[in-house]
Amino acid sequence: MADMLRQMGWDVTIGKGEVIASREDRWGAWTLAVDGSGRILVTVTRPLRPARARRVQRGERTYRTLWEEHGIFSVSTEVSTPRDLPQVLEQLPALLRQARLKQDVHQ
């Protein structure tokens, strides 16, 4: 599974009984965790608004502050074999778009 993820452009770390992978693309920063039972958790973090930076003077010291707002989207599923993983990964952008559209409707 780790080799498959690497071939698909993910940075992969293998831990005790799990594979952790990450990447960044136009959708945001992705983290994927797969345990030995085939359970998958994917989290996408993306900025909601442009970051706002300021310089603030307090006494004789200058501070730089940065305010960022991020949205976090998570999805979980299970695979019975590593061969199922590409199908799961192919569905992630559509699931993210669908969740985003539903969120926009409720605002």
| Domain ranges for the chain | 2-106
So what's the pLDDT on residue 7?
94
pTM of the predicted protein model: 0.77
Q: Flag whether pLDDT at 100 surpasses 60.
A: yes
User: Hey, which residues does 35 pair with through a beta bridge?
Assistant: 18
pLDDT in tens, 24-78: 998 899 999 999 999 999 999 999 899 999 999 999 999 999 999 999 999 999 9
Alpha helices in the chain (DSSP H): 2-7, 85-106
> What CA–CA distances, in Å, run from 60 to 37, 44, 53, 54, 55?
56, 40, 20, 16, 13
User: Which two structure tokens, joined as six digits, stand for 89?
Assistant: 């990964």
